[in-house]
Structures are given as C-alpha cells and as structure tokens.
C-alpha cells in the first residue's frame, strides 16, 4: 500500500509541528498485531488488504440531500468530517451565549492532542488534521431537546484518509443528549481517523449515542477521551452494525468523587465485518461507579472484539465497577475475542467482570419453532432478546424508534441448518 500523505498548506503557522508528527507516524506506521492494544485488530494488514493507496488530497465534497428527523431536535451537520452548519432554534434561547459551536481549528486541537503524542494514530491525525467542531455548553444550561449530529460522507472518496477531531464541553450543572447519526453516501473506499475530546464538569450529565443509518464498506477508527468531574455522569451507547470495519476506543477518567460512567454496545455483525470496542475506565477518586455491557451477534465470517480495562487508583476507595461482554455466534465461521482486565490498588472496592460466548440455544429455538414460528423468524427473536438488556437502558422514545429501525435494517439472518 502506497501512502501519499502531504501537508498541503505550506504557509500554515504550524507547519513544523505538523511535519514533526508526520515524521513520528512514519517511524511507527499503522498499528499491527505485534502491539498489545492491537493484537485482535491488525490495522496495518486491514488497510494493506483493502487499499492500494491512501492519500489526503482535497476531498470532492458533494452536498447531500439532508433528510432530518421529524421529531423536535437541534442539529449539527458535518460533511466528510467538516462542520457545515448548525441549528439550535429548538431551544428558543434567550441567552445566545448558552451554547457555542465553532470549527475546531488546529491550535484548539493541540490543546487536547499533546498528551497523546505516543499514539501513532494521533500523530497522523495531528499532521493531517483538517477540521471538526468545538461545542461548548455553559453552566446550568439543560437541553430540552436532543442534539443530532448528522455525520454525512458523500462524493468520491476513493483511497482517501479523513483526519478530524471534535470537542464537547459541558460546564457545571449542564446536561445534554447527543445522537451521532452516520450516513454514508460516498463512492470508493475511505479510512476515517477521528479523535473526540469530551469534558464533563461538576454535576453535568451527557448521554451520547452513535448509530449508523445504512451499510458502509468503509473503515473507521475513533478514539474518545472523556474526563468527568465531581458528581458528573457520562453514558455512551454504540450501535454500529453494518460498518465493514470499526475500532472504537474510549478512555474514561473519573476525576471527581461520585462521578459515574456507563458504556453500552449492541452490534449485529453480518458478512465479513470486523468491529472492536475497547475501553479503559480509570477510577481516580473515591465513591465512583462504572458499568459496561457489550454484546455482539456475529455471523458469516465476521469478528467481534472487546478489550476492556478497569483501573482503580489507591485513593479510589468505595469504587463500584462492573464489566460484561457477550458474543452470540450464529455459525462456525464467526469469531468473538475478548480481553477483560482489572488493575486495582485500593482495598475497599467492588469490581467484577465477565465474558461469555456461545451459539444459539437449541432448546429456545426448538420451543419457538414448536409454536409455529419459522426458523428464520425464531432466530431473529432470539437475537433481539439477546440484545434487549442494552436496549432497555434507553428511555428516549425517538432514539429508541431510530434504533429499532437500525436493527430491522441490519439484522439479516439467512436460513441455516440448526
């Protein structure tokens, strides 16, 4: 695979820094299975097998036909990773300073990226960074309606690499629900390398959902760094069925007492898909809680991966941390790999993890078929039941409707001998 990465703007004041990061990336290259964090997802091999070339030439952006949801919401629109427009009219703001959103420029990006210098994907992101957004929510502001990030990919993106980053900041006593909705209408394979920086201040609360609308033959790597202050709460829901390749990393730091985080993921991986969910949850203060529930339904030569680490600092007494991952394998060609870890230095904690994988319960299948339900529909019912513990956490009706449509679109099970 030929890499044609160029820093296009030679007048950029940060040219030297970009060049340094590109040099650092070239020394290391894309991560491969020799690195512990990438042992199940050999990115170098995936890219070599699917791309003859990767370049960061100017994108052929084609404005899509925007189809917004009918329920009341606020919107942020991205095209190929770049901020295009936003609309917060649903909030009827009296104080326009309650919410601000701007393009995330390179200098702002560096404020977050500097402590990830040893990450080659961050080196590449910094070297070739080309946009994103910065969202600030002021103290005491509580969103009445969800924010939908319409994340469109459109135009001819063959052999392109897209490097962007987003920043979301919730100040004291604020809260928001954000739905990132990925719509891929592009032509040609591309690879997207994204870094997200989320800061949640004291007594603030954020629900963050990721759902993709349609099938995508493209490749996505996302690293999210989340920091929580005292009494704050973060919930992340990941539903990326239908994407050919995805690795979604979350590094969550519980930096304040009584802060909490929850991560939920429910995936159906159809023909020849690869998805990895990787989490690192750091308990750094006393009386914090974390909960993780990751479920994969896997078929037709696909592979699901979960790597999850819970770290408890010595000072973090009264920690309560729970982690569960499960894989439901629908055929012999499917694979589920998992690596749960606990690293605990405090002595007054409640920490547990579990991981299981297995096939369809034949007794359950027989029971449904004996009630007149055909085999294909019976398997779909078992799949939905398997994912239900993730779905039941969602209280927002509009988002639940979107998610049910997502599963109806992507759960495709062909009749097999059982």
Reading the block at residue 166, the tokens are 């987003």
Q: Which domain holds residue 15?
A: 2-361
- For residue 392, is it within any domain? no
Sorting pLDDT into bands at 50, 70 and 90, what band is 101? Answer: very high
Cα-Cα-Cα-Cα torsion 65, 71, 74, 79, nearest 10 degrees, comes to: -20
What is the rounded average pLDDT of the residues 382-404? 90
| Largest distance between two CA atoms of the chain | 72
Tell me the pLDDT band of 415, cut-offs 50, 70 and 90. Answer: very low
Residue 221 has pLDDT above 60, yes or no: yes
pLDDT class of 16 with cuts at 50, 70, 90: confident
227 occurs within a structural domain: yes
Q: In this structure, is residue 409 part of a structural domain? A: no
| pLDDT tens by residue, 25-78 | 999 999 999 999 999 999 999 999 999 999 999 887 778 887 899 999 999 999
Residue 405 domain-assigned (yes or no): no
Q: How confident is the model at residue 239 (pLDDT cuts 50, 70, 90)?
A: very high
Say yes or no to pLDDT of 361 above 80.
yes
Q: Is residue 407 part of a domain?
A: no
pLDDT confidence bin for 127, thresholds 50/70/90: very high
Please report how the helices 375-391 and 397-410 are oriented relative to each other, as an axis angle in degrees rounded to 10.
Answer: 150
Neighbours of 286 (CB within 10 A): 18
- Angle 362-370/375-391 helices, nearest 10 degrees? 120
Q: How confident is the model at residue 418 (pLDDT cuts 50, 70, 90)?
A: very low
Q: What are phi and psi of 69, to 5 degrees?
A: -65, 155
**Between 120-127 and 106-113, two packed helices, what is the crossing angle to 10 degrees?**
170
| Contacts of 99 by beta carbon, 8 Å cutoff, 6+ apart | 88, 91, 93, 135, 136, 137, 138, 141
Res. 281: pLDDT tops 90? yes
Instruction: Classify residue 112: in a domain, yes or no.
Output: yes
| Residue 400, pLDDT above cutoff 80 | yes
Q: How far apart are CA 171 and CA 114, in angstroms?
A: 22
| pLDDT for the residue numbered 108 | 77
Residue 416 has pLDDT above 50, yes or no: no
Nearest-angstrom CA–CA distance, 160 and 162: 6
What is the separation, in whole angstroms, between the first and last Cα of the chain?
42
- What is the structure's pLDDT at 8? 74
Percent of the chain scored above 70 by pLDDT?
Answer: 96
Confidence of residue 414 (pLDDT cuts 50, 70, 90): low
pLDDT above 60: residue 111:
yes
The Cα 32–Cα 45 span in angstroms is: 7
CA quadruple 372, 377, 380, 381: dihedral sign: negative
Q: What is the mean pLDDT of residues 346-362?
A: 93
Q: Is residue 398 in a domain?
A: no
Number of domains into which the chain is organized: 1
Residue 278's pLDDT band (boundaries 50, 70, 90)? very high
CB 259 within 8 A of CB 290: no
Q: How far apart are CA 223 and CA 278, in angstroms?
A: 9
Nearest to 29 by CA among 124, 104, 110: 124
> What number is the average pLDDT over the span 391-407?
91
Token pair in block for residue 24 = 């650092």
- Which range is most confident: 2-6, 102-106, 307-311? 307-311
**pTM recorded for the entire structure:** 0.95
- Average pLDDT, integer, range 157-180: 97
With CA atoms as reference, report the closest residue to 168 among 106, 107, 108, 253.
Answer: 108
Q: What is the mean pLDDT of residues 210-233?
A: 97
Q: Which residues of 130-168 are buried (b: 16+ CB within 10 A; e: fewer)?
A: bbbbbbbbbeebebeebbbbbbbbbbebebbbbbbbbbb
Q: What pLDDT, on a 0 to 100 scale, did the predictor assign at position 376?
A: 85
In a domain, 202, yes or no: yes
Residue with the bigger pLDDT between 116 and 6: it is 6
DSSP string across 201-227 = -TT-EEEEEEEE-S-EEEEEEEEEEEE
Query: Distance between CA atoms of 282 and 310, rounded to whole angstroms?
Result: 6
């Amino acid at each position: 695979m030929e890499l044609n990465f160029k820093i296009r703007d030679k007048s950029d004041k940060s040219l030297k820094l970009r060049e340094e990061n590109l040099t650092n990336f070239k020394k290391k290259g894309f991560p491969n299975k020799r690195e512990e964090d990438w042992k199940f997802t050999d990115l170098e091999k995936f890219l070599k097998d699917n791309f003859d070339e990767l370049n960061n030439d100017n994108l052929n952006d084609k404005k899509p036909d925007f189809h917004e949801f009918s329920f009341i919401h606020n919107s942020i629109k991205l095209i190929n990773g770049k901020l295009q427009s936003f609309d917060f009219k649903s909030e009827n703001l009296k104080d326009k300073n309650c919410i601000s959103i701007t393009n995330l420029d390179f200098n702002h990006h560096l404020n977050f990226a500097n402590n990830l210098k040893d990450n080659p994907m961050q080196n590449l992101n910094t070297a070739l960074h080309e946009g994103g957004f910065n969202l600030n929510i002021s103290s005491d502001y509580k969103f009445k309606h969800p924010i939908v990030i319409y994340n469109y990919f459109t135009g001819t993106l063959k052999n392109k690499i897209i490097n962007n980053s987003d920043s979301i900041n919730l100040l004291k006593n604020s809260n928001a629900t954000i739905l990132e909705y990925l719509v891929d209408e592009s032509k040609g394979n591309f690879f997207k390398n994204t870094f997200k920086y989320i800061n949640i201040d004291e007594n603030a609360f954020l629900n963050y959902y990721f759902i993709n609308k349609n099938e995508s033959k493209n490749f996505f790597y996302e690293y999210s760094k989340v920091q929580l202050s005292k009494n704050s709460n973060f919930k992340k829901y990941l539903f990326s069925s239908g994407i050919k390749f995805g690795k979604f990393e979350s590094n969550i730091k519980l930096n304040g007492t009584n802060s909490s985080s929850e991560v939920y993921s429910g995936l159906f991986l159809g023909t020849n898909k690869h998805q990895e969910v990787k989490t690192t949850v750091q308990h750094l203060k006393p009386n914090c809680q974390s909960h993780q529930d990751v479920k994969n339904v896997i078929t037709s030569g696909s592979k699901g991966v979960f790597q999850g680490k819970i770290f408890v600092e010595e000072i973090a007494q009264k920690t309560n941390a729970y982690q569960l991952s499960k894989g439901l394998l629908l055929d012999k060609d499917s694979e589920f790999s998992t690596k749960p870890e606990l690293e605990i230095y405090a002595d007054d904690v409640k920490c547990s993890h579990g991981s299981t994988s297995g096939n369809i319960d034949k007794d359950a299948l027989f029971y449904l078929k004996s009630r007149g339900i055909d085999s294909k529909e019976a398997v779909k019912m078992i799949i939905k039941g398997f994912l239900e513990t993730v779905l039941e956490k969602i209280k927002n009706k509009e988002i639940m409707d979107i998610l049910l449509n997502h599963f109806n679109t992507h759960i495709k099970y062909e009749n097999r001998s059982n």
